[in-house]
Chains A and B, each alone.
Chain A
Amino acid sequence: MAANARAISFELNGESVAALAKPLETLQSVLREQLGMTGTKAGCRQGGCGSCTVHVDGEPTLSCLVPVEHVADREVTTIEGLGSAEEPSPLQAAFHEGFATQCGFCSPGMIAVASALLERNPDPTPEEIGEALAGNVCRCTGIAPIIAAVEDAAARMREGEEVRT
């Protein structure tokens, strides 16, 4: 490992971690290569496809454009922190059941942005969903099933709220 690499600590999916980062090494790179979080994808490494989207302090962020230094002491959430096979989030369930995932490569990034959207806007219109997902490229589904899945997830979440309150 290069002499000018530094240890950067941050919170990842609720746990404290440290990564050894070379200057301007990307968050995407350390997530995938050092921290075992390969759910965050590398589709272009130029910020153009959205498949690397994670949350940094709750904001959807393109991890291929973020130096690891910038997330020091901050909270990072990846797709692995947004639900699991045993306990899928409403978004994950909606994507799965609504066939909103085909090759699957864009799905983690889509779900990252959609989950941030639904935290801020629990009843988005299809146009608002499309605008939020404008930076996430899907070459398989034609986006319509994805927008429908986000609407479906929003409805499930609103219903879940009503049941609880």
Chain B
Amino acid sequence: MNQERLLELVPLAALGALDGEERAAFEAELARSPAVQRELAAYQELVGRLGLATAGPPPRAALRERLLRETKPATPRRAWLAPALAAGLVAALAGLLLVRSQRDAARLQVAALEAEAREAHEAATRAQAEATALREALTSEVAFRELVSHTETRVASLTGLVAAPAARGRIVWHAGRGEAVFVASGLAAAPAGKAYELWIIARAAPVPAGVFQVDAQGRVVFRLPAGLELGGVKTFAVTLEPAAGVPAPTGAMVLAGAVS
């Protein structure tokens, strides 16, 4: 459809009177022609203004009341209350009110409160992560105590190497059950993107035995993944590796201990 033909259809399109293939073709072409879009907008405005000719009497007075009643801004209400883990968050959130009659002011306020809520949410998430970490540590410690109570359980000590001279570690394991728990202290926090990885060295290449991070005090209680082959282990070692862990050691060795 050429531009001239398209422009001819504009008045009909503005009235909504096009139909069939012509309408489909017009609408398809319209998207590509800013000039036709402008012309259409002008005719649509004209079509709107023609309505002035039909001005009639106002409707019954009751309708005005109905309109104002139904659109009346809602009374202020509490928008939401975050399930707060940390004390003090509740106070920050309770102010999150949406008052429609003061929409603009409220929007700014809401934005500020949303930022606070976001921070609160992040704090709560952090607290939750810490709780999870503590729970895991506790589980590991329970496992550790349960493990050391066993007569077949063996223990090996790991000594800090040049990269971490202050580090000390100990690992207890039960080869028959494939269970092991590693504890260490004196380790520096791993740099961003890095983690410590534990290795089991038996006859051949080191076997990865899990990655871990240390707490703020440089300590860790780490339960090794279940099902590891611990029967012929000769040496345990810890290296610094990319946080996701690697299949074979690449980084500096920080702890090592031979099995006596």
Chain B associates with chain A = no
Residues of chain B touching chain A, judged by Cβ–Cβ distance below 8 Å, are none
